[in-house]
Amino acid sequence: MASENVIVEKNQGQALITDKIKENQKKLYMESYGCQMNLNDSEIVASILSEQGYNTTTLIEEADLVLVNTCSIREKAEMTIRKRLEKYNAVKRINPTMKVGVLGCMAERLKEKFLEEEKIIDLVVGPDAYRDLPNLLQEIDAGREAVNVILSKDETYGDVSPVRLNSNGVSAFVSITRGCDNMCTFCVVPFTRGRERSRDPQSILAEIQDLKDKNYKEITLLGQNVDSFLWFGGGMKKDFKNASEIAKATAIDFSQLLDMCATAFPKMRIRFSTSNPQDMELDVIYTMAKHQNICNYIHLPVQSGSTKILKAMNRQHTREEYMTLIDTIFKIIPDIAVSQDMIIGFCGETEEDHQDTLSLLEYVKYDYGYMFTYSERPGTPAAKKMKDDVPLDVKKRRLAEIITLQREHSHFRTNAFVGKTLEVLVEGSSKKSDLHWKGRTSQNTMVVFPKENYKVGDFVNVKIDDCTSATLIGTAVEYSKNN
Ligand code: SAH
Ligand code: F3S
């Protein structure tokens, strides 16, 4: 580790060594809420702080520093974090020297106000300011307030090698873009994570190589809007139009990045999330079809089945355009799995709009879905200009109807795999039985099967004998040729 290097390099006397060893014992306890990007950001933070002698711990009671990476996407997410802060308060009463920092979207949204509202907090750091953490920690030690919520034009943490937290040792996240320029009217992300920037493909490939060297078998390329990835030498996506002719001619888009990753690492499974229908180019689908190691799974949030509501949400496509995209995807990759995000009860949603959402679900029959009632977020265009006018009981009833239908479709899709033989990447022991492995198919469906002599990280062809609503149950046939 870098901190050990410090001991070797500056080995000038016993006192220094003792100091450093003491420093190495600093304990960092981290929790992440919200999206996969937050999880990956926490891994970046753990890496930055490991250089400062912090080791991570899973025991909050022994922590010198507690960092919580927060989510603002819905009001409920913020309430969960406020509750968590109460728990930290209880621990701090026993361990008064423990410092507490908030990172991520809530930190960015609430800024200094967060320090005033929650007395337990010592440190507030937004998503683009993690490199400043070492300085900010010194500020707290000197008894000063420590807040950095400056959003960046070019920060991608491309050179930071994440410390994998809670990892199964098999799959890992690799960030490829930060921020979002889409401005969906309901969404707080463009305000908390700033403008869209893409990461240098060379640093992406280097990170995947490092994961491969550590025996990882699957990566998920992460971004708020991966289809919008565009590398032209750095900086904000919006500045591409002013880039030099050379930069424009040599720019790399998402389908090219996918192709580069899949070609360079043919033995690794490649996933990506999240796709936005308005930015998804057909080249991406063709690239998926071309490489067997790019998983046949797309998370393609739609948010509503009503063109009127999509327009109010500033999603740049109609219901019909989305359906055409789905048809094309199924035509090019017939055995692909598709999942959705839905927002139920957005401003102005009528019963007819709700029926449109139900009929879109019926049309696509998604493999999975993530469905939530609309939660107004302060400062967003919807909060400023529209009325959150669907009563809570109506939102809840519509949500229940949508969840019931999605469950039927999930079961339908899972059932269709019974009798087939599918490649599974073994991730670990099944939660319910130590005699079974669990792992996922290319389509991202969970499979459990008897362990035999297979081990974690193996690709195994499994014959599917049965299923529950979300899990396939099978027996191993043989090693896949992809090992
Ligand atoms: N970048 C992704 C989504 C990021 S937010 C995309 O292109 O869609 C993840 C999901 O949270 C969204 O897809 C949306 O379904 C949900 N969400 C975002 N803002 C919300 C709000 N104000 N209320 C309820 N759900 C919301
Ligand atoms: Fe949010 Fe829309 Fe971007 S949902 S993250 S503004 S694509």
Q: Say how many Å lie between the CA of residue 313 and the centre of ligand 2.
A: 10
Q: In what helix (H) or strand (E) does residue 256 lie, and over which residues does it extend? A: helix 254-264
CB-ligand 1 contact for 346 (6 Å cutoff)? no
Question: Which pairs from 477-481 meet CB under 8 Å and 24+ separation?
Answer: 477/421, 479/454, 480/423
**Tokens 């192709």 map to which residue?**
259
Q: Does residue 442's CB lie within 6 angstroms of at least one atom of ligand 1?
A: no
Mutate to test the pocket of ligand 1, among 187, 191, 314 (most ligand atoms within 8 A of CB): 187
Sheet holding 297-299, edge to edge: 297-299, 337-344, 368-373
Q: Which atom of ligand 2 is nearest to the CA of 187?
A: 1
Specify the residue with its C-alpha closest to ligand 1, atom 7: 276
The finding on whether 224 has its CB within 6 A of some atom of ligand 1 is yes
Q: 5, 22 in Cβ contact below 8 A? A: no
Asked if 30 contacts 65 with a C-beta cutoff of 8 angstroms, the reply is no
Residues 284-311 have pLDDT tens digits of 999 999 999 999 999 999 999 999 999 9
C-alpha distances (whole Å) from 466 to each of 233, 366, 413, 414, 447 are 50, 20, 13, 9, 10
- The two structure tokens encoding residue 330: 């199924």
Distance (angstroms) between ligand 1 centre and the Cα of 342 equals 8
The predicted pLDDT at position 11 comes to 37
Residue 193: CB within 6 Å of ligand 1?
no
Question: Among 298, 294, 316, 297, which Cα is nearest to 307's?
Answer: 316
188 within ligand 2 shell (Cβ under 6 A):
no
Q: What is the pTM of this model?
A: 0.93
| Cβ of 255 less than 6 Å from ligand 1 | no
37 close to ligand 2 (CB < 6 Angstrom): no
C-alpha neighbours within 13 Å on the C-beta side of residue 468: 5
What backbone phi and psi angles, to 5 degrees, belong to 352? -65, -45
DSSP-H helix ranges across 10-74: 14-24, 36-50
Q: Which strands sit side by side in the sheet containing 171-175, from one edge to the other?
A: 171-175, 218-222, 269-273
- Residue spans of the chain under pLDDT 70: 1-24
Instruction: State the closest ligand 2 atom to the C-alpha of 303, by its place in the atom list counted from 1.
Output: 4
Q: How far apart are CA 66 and CA 78, in angstroms?
A: 17
3-state secondary structure of 155: coil
Cβ of 105 less than 6 Å from ligand 1 = no
- Check residue 255 and give its pLDDT: 98
Find out whether the beta carbon of 369 lies less than 6 Å from any atom of ligand 1.
no
Report CA(87)–ligand 2 centroid distance (Å): 31
What 8-state DSSP symbol labels residue 238?
A: G
Tell me the best of 222, 224, 346, 377 to mutate to test the pocket of ligand 2, counting ligand atoms within 8 Å of each CB and taking the most: 224
CA–centroid distance, residue 379 to ligand 2 (Å) = 14
CA 37 – ligand 2 centroid, Å: 13
Domains of the chain from N-terminus onward: 2-148 (3.40.50.12160), 167-295 (3.30.750.210), 301-416 (3.30.750.200), 421-479 (2.40.50.140)
- Ligand minimally distant from the alpha carbon of residue 382: 1
The CA R_g of the chain, rounded to the nearest whole Å, is: 24
Q: How far is the CA of 194 from the centre of ligand 1 (A)?
A: 16
Buried b (16+ CB within 10 A) or exposed e, 121-154: bbbbbbbbbbbbbeebbebbeeeeebbbbebbee
Position in ligand 2 atom list of the atom nearest CA 224: 5
- Nearest atom (ligand 2) to Cα of 301: 4
Q: Cα(80) to centroid of ligand 2, in Å?
A: 22
Q: What are the phi and psi torsion angles at 23 (to 5°)?
A: -65, -40
Q: Hey, what's the torsion of the CAs at 231, 233, 234, 238, to 10 degrees? A: -70
* C-alpha 229 – ligand 2 centre gap (Å): 14
Question: Separation of 188 CA from ligand 1 center, angstroms?
Answer: 9
Query: What separation in Å is there between the alpha carbon of 180 and the centre of ligand 2?
Result: 6
